[in-house]
Amino acid sequence: MKNYRSFFSLIFAVFLGSLSPVLSQSLEFTKSPKGPVNFDLDIDVAKINLYVKNVSSSPVKIWVTMDTSKISPSHRAYFCWEQCYSFGVVDARDIAGGKPITLKPGQDTNAFTAYVDHYAVFNEPKEGVSVLDFAFFNEEDPSDRISISLTFNVGNVSSIYEVKTSKSEAIYWNSTTQSLFIDPSFNDADIVLTSVNGSQITYNQSIPIDVSSGVYGYVITEKTGSMQRGMISIIR
C-alpha cells in the first residue's frame, strides 16, 4: 500500500511541476491597443504606450526586446523602458547602460513607450505601415514572458499593398562575384538592407554595395507600392 502511495505522490508531484510554468506567469498588459493605431503624417513621431503589471506575489525584474523585421523601410524605431534606447537597439541587455525595471507585487507601470520615427530615414515624413513585436520577460525566468505586436499606420496607408514574403531566389549574395543578385523583375524596385543592429543600406545597382558579413533583412518596394520581405546571408 505504501508503494502505491509513493507512486501516486510522485505522479502528483510531476503533475504539479508540469504546471509550474503556467502558475508562475507573473506579467500582464493592463492597457494596450486592440488593433492598429493610426497617426497623421504631420506628427513629429508616432508613439504607443503600454501598461505592464506584475501579477505575482514576488518582485520581478523585467527586460524588453524588440523585433523590427516588419518595420517599413521608410521608418526607424526605438523604445523607452523607463530609460530610452537609441535607434538600432533591439535588446536592452546588449547596452552597457541597459537595465531591467523591477516591479513590486501588484505594481502596474506605464514606463514603456514604443516609437516609430517616419522622418529619420529620408529627413522628411514618409507614410507607411510598421509592425513592431515586443517581448517582456522575467530576468530570473525568461520563459515567464508576455508578448505583443504593435501596428503603426502612419499617414494614408490605404494604398499600401499587403506585405508579402519574398521568394528566396528574388535576391541573394553571390559569393563568387561578391555582389548581390537581384531578380530582373525587381530592376526598378527600391531595395533596402537592414542589419541585425538596425543600420540600413539602400541598394543601388550602379554603385557597388559595401556591407560586412552577416545576416540582413531586406525589403523590396516596387513602383506599384507592393512590398516583399526576406532574409539574406552575406559572407565575405
Asked whether residue 13 is assigned to any structural domain, the reply reads no
Residue ending a domain, among 125, 154, 183, is: 154
Same domain, 62 and 141: yes
Quick one: what percent of the chain has pLDDT higher than 70? 81
Convert the pLDDT of each residue in 171-200 to its tens digit. 777 776 777 777 777 777 888 888 767 778
Contact 21, 138 (CB under 8 A): no
Range of the structural domain that residue 98 is part of: 22-154
Whether 172 and 76 map to the same domain: the answer is no
Do 33 and 134 fall within a single domain?
yes
Who has greater pLDDT, 81 or 5? 81
179 in the same domain as 107: no
Tell the residue number behind the cell numbers 517599413, with chain if given.
Answer: 72
On whether both 182 and 71 belong to a single domain, the answer is no
229: in domain:
yes
In angstroms, the CA 185 to CA 46 distance is 34
16 belongs to a structural domain: no
* E strand or H helix at 18: helix 2-23
Amino acid 85: pLDDT: 92
**Measured between alpha carbons, how far is 52 from 108 in angstroms, rounded to an integer?**
6
pTM for this model (two decimals): 0.60
Single residue among 111, 126, 154 that ends a domain in this structure: 154
Q: What is the CATH number of the domain that holds 179?
A: 2.60.40
Q: Return the residue matching grid coordinates 548581390.
A: 180
Q: Higher model confidence: residue 235 or residue 161?
A: 235
pLDDT average, residue stretch 134-150: 94
Q: Are strands 27-31 and 46-54 parallel, antiparallel or unpaired?
A: antiparallel
pLDDT of residue 168: 44
Structural domain includes residue 194: yes
Cell of 110: 506605464
pLDDT digits (tens, 9 = 90+) for 46-79: 999 999 999 999 999 999 999 998 998 889 999 9
What pLDDT digit, counting tens, does each position of 89-120 carry?
999 898 888 999 999 999 999 999 999 999 98
76 and 121 belong to one structural domain: yes
Q: Is 7 among the domain residues?
A: no
Helix (H) or strand (E) holding 123: none
Phi/psi for 161 (5° steps) reads -70, 160
The CATH number of the domain where 66 resides is what? 2.60.40.10
Residue 213, pLDDT above cutoff 90: no
Residues 128 and 121 sit within 8 Å (Cβ to Cβ): no
What cell was used for 133? Answer: 513585436
Number of domains in the chain: 2
Q: Are residues 73 and 147 in the same domain?
A: yes
Phi-psi region of 16 (alpha: psi -120 to 50; beta: other; left: phi over 0): alpha
Residue 118 inside a domain? The answer is: yes
Q: Grid coordinates representing 185?
A: 523583375
Rounded average pLDDT over 109-136 = 92
Is residue 10 situated within a structural domain? no
- Same domain for 109 and 35? yes
Q: Which of 154, 176, 193 lies at the terminal end of a domain, its last residue?
A: 154
Give yes or no for residue 206 having a pLDDT over 80: no
- Per DSSP, the chain holds a count of helices (H) and strands (E) of 1, 17
Amino acid at 73: P
